[in-house]
Amino acid sequence: MGQKLASLDELPVGEARRFVIGEEQICVVNLGDAGIRAVGDLCSHAEAWLHEGDVEIEDETIECPRHGSAFDLNSGAPRSLPATSPVPAYTVEVVGNDVLIEVN
């Protein structure tokens, strides 16, 4: 089991939040019925914070606010250019009201 990151009530559906654990900067998104996802917060193409981008619940993606690359919130893989490299993806678990995350 991972370490506590947040409570569910701190993560509004359809919005992204930034958390820092150690040296890891993490973008956490509540996809509603699809669950909570977490990826690295720094875009792999340009130094922009993904938590400032738009969340697409149906596609389970987040769009970089700087150049518009979309990243898969399940795998961290880019789904559109100009990004070609993935961002880290993290395992998230919800236990009761606690959101837990695995960070290496």
Q: Among residues 30, 39, 47, which one has the least CA distance to residue 79?
A: 39
What is the per-residue pLDDT across 28-49, written as a single tens digit (0 to 9) for each? 999 999 999 999 999 999 889 9
pTM of the model as a whole: 0.94
pLDDT classification of 64: cutoffs 50, 70, 90: very high
Homologous superfamily of 3-102: Rieske [2Fe-2S] iron-sulphur domain (2.102.10.10)
Residue 100: per-residue pLDDT:
96
Q: Where are the domains of the chain?
A: 3-102
Measured CA to CA, the distance from residue 2 to residue 28 in angstroms comes to 15
Measured CA to CA, the distance from residue 65 to residue 49 in angstroms comes to 7
pLDDT classification of 9: cutoffs 50, 70, 90: very high
